Amino acid sequence: MSLFAPSYYASFRCIAGDCRHSCCIGWEIDIDPDTLTRYNALPPRERKAILSHTATEKGCTSFRLTADERCPFLTSDGLCRLILSHGEGILCDICREHPRFYNSFSDRTEVGLGLCCEAAAELILTHPEPFGLVCIENDTSDENGVTDPFEADFFSERSDVFRILCDRTLPLSARINRLTKRYSLSLAAIYESDRRWQRVYRNLERLDPAWDDALTAWERASLPASGIADPIFESAAEQLIAYFLYRHLADAICDGRYPERVAFALLSTHVICSVAAARSGTPDPDTLIDTARAYSAEVEYDEENVDAILCELGSSPIPCPGYPIA
């Protein structure tokens, strides 16, 4: 089975101690069974040093976070004591793989980088080339092509979607119009309904008080209909839409919600751009990257939050012949 990844994937590097929003703080860290078996096989002293900081509940073992919600092995300078003592091979799956995600198909697997990681967010939003996939592992022993008809339809559909999105002979607004016409989406329901979406996002589960502050800034701001329309954000907005499509459109193979998932990509990008502009007062690329990271952590990584937005998008009025946003 072959493994595909975005063209920027190989450039990703964890920034470790330089990270301002460490994935070792505030996140539940489960230990997979294979890693737990390895820990139990360590010499007694090393085994105790690790397992004394774990807890098991309902058959799942995880690291016990400190009072300030830090991983017990996170040093004061943002490094991992386990890696420093044993090397990266000691890590459990979730620590080794983060921020990667995988979409599996019958004949291939696709890997990507989650936007909730600030290093990944910067890499994705500043990537200068249109979104594209490259094969990073190729198993020629299993090259029979896509046999699942639902997957075949998906790959054909996705190819058309990315061909529209990545056509840089047109401004982004025109490409968005083409996407919305393809799926009979109401652009007005997405881009001219900020008050509605502000209520929706306020009702979602939230983790970090800083995200509350970001939503407050958005609610108080007086902005154009779409943050995406700002030329400073156009390249990054294209990459954001591509990211959300790449990560989430595949789920339409199971639920058939192609229009809602395309709308989710457009809405998420609109919200990120609008919140970023509201936070900084002007369109600022650094604030955009940080807002994208926060949005991903608060919204995208919570399946219930994503489903709530998809359901809300499913209730939006359609069809619509297209609406100019720039």
Domain identity same for 226 and 307: yes
Counting the structural domains of the chain, the total is: 3
Joined together, the tokens standing for residue 259 give: 């229009």
Predicted local distance difference test score (pLDDT) of residue 73 = 93
The answer, as to whether pTM is greater than 0.95, is no
Angstrom distance (rounded) from CA 187 to CA 206: 27
The domain containing residue 299 runs over which residues?
Answer: 149-314
Domain identity same for 177 and 295: yes
Angstrom distance (rounded) from CA 243 to CA 269: 10
Q: Averaged over 196-210, what is the pLDDT?
A: 93
Among residues 142, 174, 205, the one where a domain terminates is 142
The dihedral of CA 266, 204, 227, 126: what is its sign?
negative
Confidence category of residue 321, pLDDT binned at 50, 70, 90: very low
Predicted local distance difference test score (pLDDT) of residue 203 = 95
Domain identity same for 165 and 84: no
Domain identity same for 191 and 300: yes
**Average pLDDT of every residue of the chain:** 89
Domain identity same for 157 and 117: no
Angstrom distance (rounded) from CA 280 to CA 217: 9
**Assigned domain for 17 exists:** no
Domain identity same for 166 and 259: yes
Closest of 188, 216, 217 to residue 317, by C-alpha: 188
Q: Averaged over 64-88, what is the pLDDT?
A: 91
Domain identity same for 249 and 304: yes
**Assigned domain for 83 exists:** yes
Closest of 282, 271, 215, 218 to residue 244, by C-alpha: 271
**Assigned domain for 323 exists:** no
CA 43 to chain centre: 39
**Assigned domain for 5 exists:** no
**Assigned domain for 10 exists:** no
As to burial, measured by CB atoms within 10 angstroms (0-12 exposed, 13-18 middle, 19+ buried), residue 79 is middle
Size of the chain in residues: 326
**Assigned domain for 175 exists:** yes
On the question of pLDDT at 18 being above 90, the answer is no
Predicted local distance difference test score (pLDDT) of residue 316 = 52
* pLDDT > 70 in the chain, percent: 91
**Over the stretch 45-63, which tens digit does the pLDDT of each residue have?**
999 999 999 999 988 999 9
Domain identity same for 111 and 164: no
Domain identity same for 129 and 263: no
Domain identity same for 65 and 174: no
Q: Where are the alpha helices (DSSP H) in the chain?
A: 33-40, 44-51, 81-86, 93-97, 118-125, 149-165, 172-182, 187-191, 194-202, 209-220, 234-248, 252-255, 258-280, 285-295, 303-314
**Assigned domain for 236 exists:** yes
Domain identity same for 307 and 173: yes
**Assigned domain for 322 exists:** no
**Over the stretch 265-313, which tens digit does the pLDDT of each residue have?**
999 999 999 999 999 887 789 999 999 999 999 999 999 999 999 999 9
Confidence category of residue 143, pLDDT binned at 50, 70, 90: low
Domain identity same for 37 and 133: no
